[in-house]
Amino acid sequence: MKILDQNRAPLFEAMREYHRKNVVPFDVPGHKHGIGIPEMVDYFGRTMLELDVNAMKCLDNICNPIGVIKEAEDLAAKAYGADNAFFLVNGTTSGVQAMIMSICNPGDKIILPRNAHKSAITALILSGAVPVYIQPEINEELGIAMGVSLKSVKEAIEKHHDAKAIFIINPTYYGAVSDLKAIVEMAHKYEMAVLVDEAHGAHMKFHNELPMEAMDVGADMCAVSTHKTGGSLTQSSLLLLREGFVDAKKVKTTLNLTQTTSASYLLMGSIDIARKQLATKGKEMLDNVLNLVRWARCEINKIEGLYAFGKELVGTIGVYDFDETKLGVNVRNLGLTGFEVYDILRDEYNIQVELGDMYNILAIVSLGDTKESLGALIEALKSISVKYKRDKKITLKKSILKNPEVIVSPRDAYYSRKKIVKFEDAAGEVSGESIMAYPPGIPVVALGERITKEMIEYVNEMKKKESLLQGTEDPYVNYIKVLGV
């Protein structure tokens, strides 16, 4: 048995060895080491194209890894304190789908917060599981959903003790963390598996001043976006699992239902390198990240009209802990929406933040940030506060993220006959499509739910603010499919 040395990157090392040999390719991909697409070589570089290769014996195969991919996955499992790890090349979306499909059969109940990502909703369609939604706690001043309270989880578990699993977000997009350890202990007493969407927590394992990661508190599976905060390439992620409630063989079989048989070695190699860096240098690098984001938060809070929220929220309802690397800035006292500040930063200051919503902008601070990059954001916000400030702060209706009325399961809604109606006239209908703003990809309306007047008003407000809406066949969300003929 090989010793798992975190200083190694076995898949990436095998890719480099393949590249060194200068193999003559008569396999796919058809560009043949970039020779067939010179424009890409000129811009991206020859090495990248030469490493865009297909599965072969020396490089192993993601569908049934027994060589260097398996060794790299074992190293990832050890780094995160898991029993097994699987490389993902279709993002954490595929991990969330695999988690739910591995645990839930058609008709099985799963408890999940209403602010779950759209990947959880698509997993309900694929698995046939029936959602039992719990309401995340809402911070009305910030206008965002936080974590879930132990009280709401306990009530849902006791009312639906036949549920197969509970699904938790750790952390939320804005950094809020629920009491995951207590939730795991509670769920396991009822023999429920705990599945965790850890898309925004790839870094948390590697610094003791950050919230605890799912595997550390005994969760059964978690999907981790190494590309978001861990340094790997976009679309690359990990699925981690703990043996007990979960059968690793079934998880692998489930992944192979939806995951490509032509996995990108550039993506997989980047996971291997990112894991190596986190495991060997993560503490040092995250020390720097935390110092930078704490400085930036302090400087932003000196700017009139802005509030960069952080650890002071810990202890408020729905916030058991907080990931400081999520730099959320409440801008409503400027008299501007987050959508407006998002656009101003991009169009006038050449700064791209992660998202804007009605009240806030969100900047993700991670391994690649510097004092110069954060300084540019701070100076831009200072300028905006002077140049664009309005007298009246933004005030909207209270959040509509209350538990919706689920009429049929998302799967039944997906396969039911539908008709098209004007969205304005859809109140009372059962939705046959989802509507979500992206990012973050959290549904305002999900399949199988009763559409309410409040939902329509909220979506119309988002349309006015030019939020990027997804989910409906009509790209402008003037029409929506509902159940019926």
- Structure pTM? 0.94
CA–CA separation, 335 and 206 (whole Å): 39
- What is the predicted pLDDT for the residue at 467? 75
Per residue in 265-281, pLDDT tens? 999 999 999 999 999 99
Single-letter amino acid, residue 121: I
Tokens encoding 181 = 């350890």
User: Which residues, 6 or more positions from 366, have their beta carbon under 8 angstroms from its beta carbon?
Assistant: 203, 228, 229, 231, 289, 325
Instruction: Give the residue, 481 or 3, on which the prediction is more confident.
Output: 481
Residues of the chain with pLDDT > 70: what percent?
97
- Per-residue confidence (pLDDT) for residue 402, from 0 to 100: 64
Q: Can you give the residue ranges of every domain in the chain?
A: 10-278, 282-387, 410-483
Give the β-pairing of 165-169 and 193-198: parallel
200: tokens are: 């925004």
Q: What's the topology of domain 10-278?
A: Aspartate Aminotransferase; domain 2 (3.40.640)
Residue 188: name the closest of 169, 213, 163 by CA: 163
* 84-102: average pLDDT: 97
* Calpha distance 232→25 (Å, rounded): 27
Give me 174's structure tokens: 């804005």
Q: Domain 410-483's class?
A: alpha beta
Q: Does the pLDDT at position 168 exceed 90?
A: yes
Q: Tell me what pLDDT residue 180 has.
A: 98
Q: What gap in Å lies between CA 283 and CA 153, rounded to an integer?
A: 33
Q: Kindly report, residue by residue over 353-366, the tens digit of the pLDDT.
A: 999 988 999 999 99
Closest alpha carbon to 94 in 217, 192, 231, 239: 239
Mean pLDDT throughout 254-270? 96
What's the pLDDT score for residue 483?
96
Residue 443's pLDDT is: 81
Structure confidence by residue, pLDDT tens digits, 319-376: 999 999 999 999 999 999 999 999 999 999 999 999 998 899 999 999 999 999 999 9
Tell me the pairing of strands 165-169 and 109-113. Answer: parallel
For residue 140, what pLDDT is reported? 87
Strands 130-134 and 109-113: parallel
| Average pLDDT over all residues of the chain | 94
pLDDT band at 122 (very low <50, low <70, confident <90, very high): very high
> Can you spell out the DSSP letters for 28-49?
SSTTTTTTT-HHHHHHH-HHHH
**Ramachandran angles phi, psi of 467, nearest 5°:** -65, 150
pLDDT at 462: 80
**282-387, CATH topology level:** Aspartate Aminotransferase, domain 1 (3.90.1150)
**Is residue 1 scored above 90 in pLDDT?**
no
Q: What is the mean pLDDT of residues 384-403?
A: 78
Q: Is the pLDDT of residue 399 over 60?
A: no
**Residue keyed to tokens 């910030």:** 142
pLDDT at 364: 98
Would the pLDDT of 444 be above 80?
yes
Quick one: pLDDT band at residue 441, thresholds 50, 70, 90? low
pLDDT value, residue 471 = 87
pLDDT reported for residue 398: 54
